[in-house]
Each structure stands twice: as C-alpha cells, then as structure tokens.
Amino acid sequence: MALQDPQAAKGYAYSMAAFVWWGLFPLYVRALGDTPPLEVVAQRIVWSLPVCALLISLARQWGELRRALARPRVLVTLLCTASIIAGNWLVFIYAVWSNQLLSASLGYFISPLVSMAMGMVFLGERPGRLRLAALILAGLGTLNLVLHHGELPWIALALAASFSTYGLLRKQVRVEAVGGLLVETALLTPLALGWLFWSGWHGELVFGQDWTISLLLAGAGLATTLPLIWFTAGARLIPLHTLGILQYSGPSIQFLIALFLFDEVVSPTRWLTFFMVWAAVALYLAASFKSKRA
C-alpha cells in the first residue's frame, strides 16, 4: 500500500497519533501530581464511560452492541478483559508515579514477544527461527536483570503479560474497540465509584481540591478513548505488519521521556537488558518482513 494513497496516508496519521499519544501519556500522569494511582485509575474508568456512551450514540452502534452482548460468552470475556485492563492501567500509572517509567517502557517493548509466546502456548502457533531467537533473546535480557538485581522486573512483566492477555482475549469477541471499552468501564464503574466515595468520606479524595488537577482527572476519559479511536481507524487502513512496526514508537517515546525529562538512571545492567530486548525486537521485525515477502 503506497503512502501516496490518501487512505494509507490517513491510516499512518491515525496510527502514529495513537502511538505518540500513548508514548506521551506519562507526561499527563505526571501532571496529576501526587494523586494516588488508585484514584487516577478510578477517575479514568468513571470518566471514560460517558465519553464512550456519547461516541456510541454518535456512531449509532447501540443495536450492534446489544446484539453482541446478547451472547453470554461475550459478556464474560469482557468482564475478564475489564479486570485485566484495569490492572494494566494501575501498574502503568504506579510506574510513572514512582519514577519507574523505564520499567514500563521495557514492558511495552517485550509485549509483542509475550503475545507471540502466548500464541505458541494457547493457540498452537509455530514461530519461525528468527521469532524464536527473538523470544529467547528477550528472555535472556530479563534474566540478566534477575541475576544482577536479584528480583524480577515485575512492572515490565506485569505490563507485558496484562497487555498481551488483554489483546488475546479481545480477539475472541467481535465487539468494536469503543463498544468494548464502554462495556468494560460500565462493569468497573460501580467498584470505581465505591472507591471514590470511600476516599471522599475519609477526606483522601484529590478530585475537587485543585481545579487544574480535577479537570485533568475528568479529562482522563477523553484521553483514554480518543487514542483508541485513532488506533482502530488506523488499523483498518494500513497493513498489520506496518502497524506492528509503528507500535514501537510508543515505548521509544516513554524511554526518552524517562531518560531526559524524568531523569531516571539507567545502570549498566539495565542498558544491557535494553540492548538485548532491542536486538530481539529487530529480529522480530526482520521475521515479520520475511513473512510478508513470502
């Protein structure tokens, strides 16, 4: 698909907008100051619900959504994905809040490789030699951190595992991205509201104390759904292998933010791990190009 094609150009623009926004999202989280991660996640859930409902109304997709939800299996799957994505958001926001964005970046670098491993285990997929080598190299990079720091890089592994599992399960249900997010946030909203009311009752709620912070928390709904719409639109207009390449712009931006704006320190051990993971990513992309040519 040539870039001169207006539809392809639009697809690249939408996709890059989504990945760049996700890459820059740590700046949004950092602007929330000392707001506890649990409150940020709860506010994100609550404010995403009306935004998704408005978008579904504008697109006139309520009928399609009702038909999808008439199948119990769809609702059960979305309940699982809702729990997983909430955990993913919580870990990511905690990583930014605790000045560990490098670990989050590492998690999203290895996420496609974890997805490939899940495909092998759960779907019986057989990766080629290059992809298998990429998986082994990423595993050795993780092992390098374990051996030198004596602990698992749990933030990176939690983000990679949750995001990959979320993608695997969401592929099993035929629900549009925004519609799926609407159901997921609707299922989570009672818990989120309960947490917010409990925090407010104990005088620990940040929302309402500062207008700037409150507006940013309220804007988290739009900040969550808008890049999802861009990503979905882009995925429909450009090849999937191209989308797979572009997705690495997000963690790359996060890495640069952690390094140059958040002043996180990269030890020699971490550098070695990142280089091994980047080499694994290069092998993974090389395998994708080889498969595409075939």
User: 138: number of CA atoms within 13 Å, CB side?
Assistant: 28
What average pLDDT does the structure give for the chain?
Answer: 89
Q: Does residue 105 sit within a domain?
A: yes
Q: Does residue 208 sit within a domain?
A: no
At residue 135 the predicted structure's pLDDT band, cuts being 50, 70 and 90, is confident
Provide the domain limits for residue 76: 33-185+258-293
Decide which of 1 and 143 is more confident.
143
Mean pLDDT, residues 86-101: 96
Give me the helix-helix angle, 37-59 and 62-69, nearest 10°: 120
- 172 within 8 A of 77, measured Cβ to Cβ: yes
Local structure of residue 248 (DSSP, 8 states): T
Least confident of 44-53, 101-110, 247-256, 281-290: 281-290
Query: What is residue 109's predicted lDDT score, i.e. its pLDDT?
Result: 92
Decide which of 294 and 268 is more confident.
268
Per-residue pLDDT tens for 172-221? 888 888 899 999 999 999 999 999 999 999 999 999 899 999 999 999 99
Q: Does residue 226 sit within a domain?
A: no
Of all residues in the chain, the percent with pLDDT exceeding 90 is 55
pLDDT at 2 over 60: no
Task: Give me the number of domains the chain comprises.
Answer: 1
Q: Does residue 214 sit within a domain?
A: no
Mean pLDDT, residues 147-163: 86
Per-residue pLDDT tens for 243-289? 777 889 999 999 999 999 999 998 898 899 999 999 988 888 887 77
Q: Name the amino acid, one letter, at 108.
A: Y
Helices (H) and strands (E) in the chain, counts: 13, 0
Q: Which two tokens stand for residue 170?
A: 């969401």
- 180 within 8 A of 170, measured Cβ to Cβ: yes
Closest Cα to residue 54, out of 232, 236, 181, 175?
Answer: 181
Of all residues in the chain, the percent with pLDDT exceeding 70 is 95
Q: Which two tokens stand for residue 135?
A: 């998986």
Alpha carbon distance 114, 112 (integer Å): 5
Residue in the block written with tokens 């080499």: 279
Q: Does residue 87 sit within a domain?
A: yes
Per-residue pLDDT tens for 275-287? 999 998 888 888 7
CA distance readout (Å), 134 to 163, 214, 228, 281, 288: 19, 44, 28, 7, 12
Specify the 3-state DSSP secondary structure of 206: coil
pTM of the predicted protein model: 0.90
Q: Does residue 71 sit within a domain?
A: yes
Q: Does residue 146 sit within a domain?
A: yes
192: left (phi over 0), alpha (psi -120 to 50) or beta: alpha
Q: Does residue 210 sit within a domain?
A: no
pLDDT at 237 over 90: no
- 182 within 8 A of 65, measured Cβ to Cβ: yes
- 111 within 8 A of 164, measured Cβ to Cβ: yes
At residue 81 the predicted structure's pLDDT band, cuts being 50, 70 and 90, is very high
Mean pLDDT, residues 106-128: 83
